[in-house]
């Protein structure tokens, strides 16, 4: 995927989707979806320039770039900062070199530390690290050591994701052949609760089921998703939401590039978020974040068992928030409350 080709296609999609001279007034800009840093420092700058040609960033806007540790250099950071990036999200995954090799990652733990040092030296003062927990039972990994090493780098933000095995992936095929056994629920729960206790003791706020931020350093961009704020999306597999309709682009790069080269909208599908689906989404997104969910009086008695079990708290205004224990049961609790709401 040559960077000039990608940026040219991105410009065409912008023209197709958002013709005219109108400019967007935005508070957050996020370049992610995997490895945008592989475009190279000049390619990233051109990509950002393509988008910023059609937007007006509000003062203090958050501009995030996802990057691989091995792509972070002094030259790259300088170019990113010049282009407006003020937040970096590093796909570190683990600090155990054996685990990184098992994941087929192209970096080692030393590269993560070098990347953090380089980003700081270049003026990035808002840094997020990603970690994967609940690895398969046969993978020897010290989760406590991973958390310790992440904290030692003093990030402003951490995102923690439990490993999921999808059917049509190498790990999915390993599982089907009996070569991989997924992590037991007890391990998932213990590692999640360990991270919660350790990170909150270190001053982080567990503000969403998978995310921890120092005060004032929550991801504004992702928080907008959970609040159902409208957002635009560009590029392969990009999703967009206008407040009522969610749409998504084709996922294969060549298909996306071919569509825009032919002046076609690269949409793959869409859905209207209304009625019962909107209720379900509001419940789920509210419960997965510290924003919580306001309950009418008719529902407050129905969640009494959650509170007794230590899964939730309810304040005097009727706003419910799940605890770390409750987040381990998020899907079931959200489905239960959605069912209650569907009956009136």
Q: Which residue pairs from 265-268 have beta carbons closer than 8 angstroms and sit at least 24 positions apart in sequence? A: 265/16, 265/17, 266/13, 266/236
Which residues are CB-contacts of 180 (< 8 A; sequence separation ≥ 6)?
136, 138, 165, 171, 174
Give the per-residue pLDDT at 182: 67
The pTM (predicted TM-score) of the whole model is 0.91
Point out the residues of the chain with pLDDT beneath 70. 1, 21, 34, 165-182, 343-344
104 to each of 93, 98, 108, 128, 136, how far by Cα in Å?
11, 10, 10, 21, 15
Give the per-residue pLDDT at 88: 97
Give the per-residue pLDDT at 32: 87
Give the per-residue pLDDT at 171: 56
Give the per-residue pLDDT at 181: 63
Give the per-residue pLDDT at 169: 60
């Amino acid at each position: 995927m040559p960077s000039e080709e990608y940026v040219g296609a991105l410009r065409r999609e912008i023209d197709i989707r958002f013709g005219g001279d109108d400019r967007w007034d935005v508070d957050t800009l996020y370049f992610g979806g995997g490895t945008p840093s592989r475009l190279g420092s000049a390619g990233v700058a051109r990509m950002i320039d393509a988008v910023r040609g059609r937007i007006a960033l509000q003062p203090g806007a958050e501009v995030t770039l996802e990057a691989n540790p091995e792509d972070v250099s002094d030259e790259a950071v300088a170019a990113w900062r010049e282009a407006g990036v003020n937040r970096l999200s590093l796909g570190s995954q683990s600090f155990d070199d054996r685990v990184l090799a098992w994941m087929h990652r192209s970096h080692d733990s030393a590269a993560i530390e070098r990347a953090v040092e380089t980003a700081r030296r270049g003026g990035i003062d808002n840094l997020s690290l990603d970690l994967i927990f609940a690895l398969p039972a046969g993978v020897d990994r010290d989760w406590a050591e991973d958390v310790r090493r992440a904290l030692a780098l003093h990030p402003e933000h951490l995102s923690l994701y439990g490993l999921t095995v999808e059917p049509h992936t190498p790990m999915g095929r390993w599982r089907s052949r009996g070569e991989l056994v997924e992590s037991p629920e007890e391990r998932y729960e213990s590692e999640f609760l360990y991270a919660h206790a350790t990170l909150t003791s270190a001053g982080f706020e567990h503000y969403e089921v998978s995310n921890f931020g120092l005060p004032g350093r929550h991801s504004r961009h992702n928080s907008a998703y959970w609040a159902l704020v409208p957002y635009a999306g560009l590029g392969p597999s990009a999703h967009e939401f206008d407040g009522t309709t969610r749409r998504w682009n084709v996922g294969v790069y060549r298909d996306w590039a071919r569509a825009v080269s032919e002046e076609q909208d690269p949409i793959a599908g869409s859905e209207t978020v209304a009625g019962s689906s909107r209720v379900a989404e509001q419940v789920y997104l509210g419960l997965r974040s510290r924003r919580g969910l306001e309950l009418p009086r008719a529902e407050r008695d129905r969640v009494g068992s959650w509170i007794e079990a230590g899964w939730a708290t309810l304040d005097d205004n009727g706003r419910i928030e799940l605890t770390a224990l409750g987040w381990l049961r998020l899907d079931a609790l959200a489905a239960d409350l959605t069912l209650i709401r569907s009956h009136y």
